Every structure is written in structure tokens, then in C-alpha cells.
A = this chain, B = another copy of it.
Amino acid sequence: MGVGIDDVARRAGVSTATVSRALRGLPEVREETRQRVLRAAAELNYAPSPSASSLASGRTRTIGLLTASFSRWFNRSVVEGAERTLRAAGFDVLLHAFDFLADGTRAPIDMTTLRQRVDGVLVLGIPLSDDERETLDRLGVPVVFVGTGPPDRVRVRTDDAACSRLAIDHLVGLGHTRIAQIGAALPHDERWSAASRRADAAARRLERAGIPADPSLVEHGDYTQAGGREAAARLLERHPDLTALYVYSDEMAFGALEELRGRGLDVPGDVSVIGVDGHELGDLIGLTSVVQDAVGQGESGATLLLEMITGQAVASDVRFPVSLVVRRSTAAARGQEALSADRDPAVTP
């Protein structure tokens, strides 16, 4: 069934080898011959079989996209950017989404399913175990990490230090001293995750402001709204007197807002909340946030991967800038009202 390369060859009056060369745009074909082949292919509505092509060439024109679930804004935004870039370059995208359990763990990823299937792999927001990294390496294809990744690999990420700096300095500038955080529990690779970089940077900024470190002021969520809500509940239980919350993602921050509202606490009257991401609904909800360009990180990661596939040398550590967008969810700590005289007095979202 189906029309094959030799049908085209026969019709164009050339060999299959020439058809293959002409269709792939190789330079050693006379222009007139190429046109003849192109016409014959079009007339027969010919399209090469990807399996046969892969088998013979060893290339697949396919990229594996390993990502944590779309329930997280960052992941789906990165996927959007990466998919678009890869498709524009003629690559297909094989999607592997992984669900994390509530405690931050997940089932181990079986990389062997990708063997011989992809020309490269993009890993989004999933810290991999050493074992997983090793089997990934054994695939023998380029790998790019987006969002979180070991320092010796090609990676694209948010400037996490700047992230925490902007957030903490903003809160400190408003007079807050009882500042709690909602980060992320991650089973693997903790030192190189975005969450741990943010935690480290936050600790430094707090110290710099003369605020003593207190581990009990740090809780962990799973980057979902529900997880953020639960983490906020645990914090408020332990520290009813906290006045500010630095949350590592907008979605977790939304969950925290729900919890605060549920407890009858006013935002920002009683508690200021700042998130990270730049979620589309941040404006409507009035959430102050450190925003980043996630789609751009996807595009960038895809571009790097494509360059590696064509054998180019690439920058190994691309860092994306962040910026602060102040909305209604943060305000001066009690007793510091003067500082915020010019701010919108509107209350909870």
C-alpha cells in the first residue's frame, strides 16, 4: 500500500537515490533534475515513511519532552514555547508528562522507551535522580534542562537568586519581618532545583536585612493551588503572627490566598502575599508577583537543543531575567502604614 520512493523514481526517470537526495535538498543534485523529482513527488502525493527513514539514517526528527504535569503554569508555558519552536524546525514532539505525588515524589521514569525514538530530549521542571540521568545519557542524544537542572548540563532557567531578592526585598521594604515561605519538596537533586536556589537566595537576603533564619517559617508545596493552600495552613497553624508570605509559584500563592480568606484573614491587611511566575490571572486576582518569561524559556531550550543536534557549540547556562509586578496583595506591615500611603487600599481579591 502507499506510494513509495521508487514510484517517484520511475515517474521522474531517475534512481531512488536521486529522489532521496532531491527531496532532502542535498546540494549535489542538478536543479532541473530536482524540479522533475519534486513534480513527480507532488503528483503522486508522495511522503517518505518516517520509520524507514529513521531506520536508514538513525535520525528521527523527533524530540522527547519530559515534563511534570500541566497543572503547573510554568510547565505548560514552556511546552507551548518549545513545541512551537520545534515544529517550526520540522521536528515532532513526543510528550511524556509525569505526575508527582503530594509528597513531591513520583514513579521513576523509564527512559528506555525513548531509545531510538528521539534525536534529543528536553527536561522540564523535573529533577532527575542520578540513575535517571545516567539512563538518559545512555540514550546518546543531546539533553537540555529547563527550569531545573544540574550545573554541568546545558540548561535554561529563571534567575532564581534575583527572584528571591526581588521578593524578599519588596517585603522587607514594606516593613515585614515575620516572613514565611512556601517552596517545593523535591525528592531528587535538591541542590540544583529552582526551589533550593530560591531558598538559599531568600535566606541570604533575609540575613542581609537582619532577619534571623527560621526553618519553621518555610513550608513545602507541590506547585499546585491545593498544595499551596495546605502549606499555608500549616504555616498559619505554627505561626499565627506571620505577616508576609513569599510563595514560589503564583498557583501556590492562589491557594494560600484561599486559605487566608478561609481563616478570615485580610490580604494585605493582615498578611501580604507575593508569588512567582506571572500567571495570567495575577492581575484579576491582584497578586503581587515576580514574573518570568516561561514561553521564552521553552523557545530558548528548544533552540539550544536543535543547535546541539546539528553539532553546534551552545551556551551551557542561559539565565532568564525576572521583574517585580506589584499589585494589591502586598502592603506595608502593620505599624508601617506611612510607607504605603499611595497604594490601592483594595482588600482581598
Contacts and interface: CB of A to CB of B under 8 A. Distances in A.
A257 interface: yes
Contact of A55 (B55, B84, B87, B95): B55
A79 interface: yes
Q: How many chain copies does the complex carry?
A: 2
Contacts of A92: 94, 113, 117
A49 interface: yes
B71 A60 contact: no
A80 interface: yes
Interface stretch (A164-172, A196-204, A279-287): A279-287
Interface string A220-263: 00000100000000000000000000000001001001100100
A76 interface: yes
A284 B46 CA distance: 53
A140 to B, nearest CB: 8
Given A71-B80, A95-B93, A113-B92, A284 B55 contact: no
The 9 A-B pairs of least Cβ separation, nearest first, read A51-B54, A51-B55, A95-B95, A51-B51, A93-B95, A49-B116, A70-B76, A47-B112, A47-B115
7 contacts: A47-B113, A49-B116, A52-B55, A70-B77, A80-B97, A284-B285, A285-B349
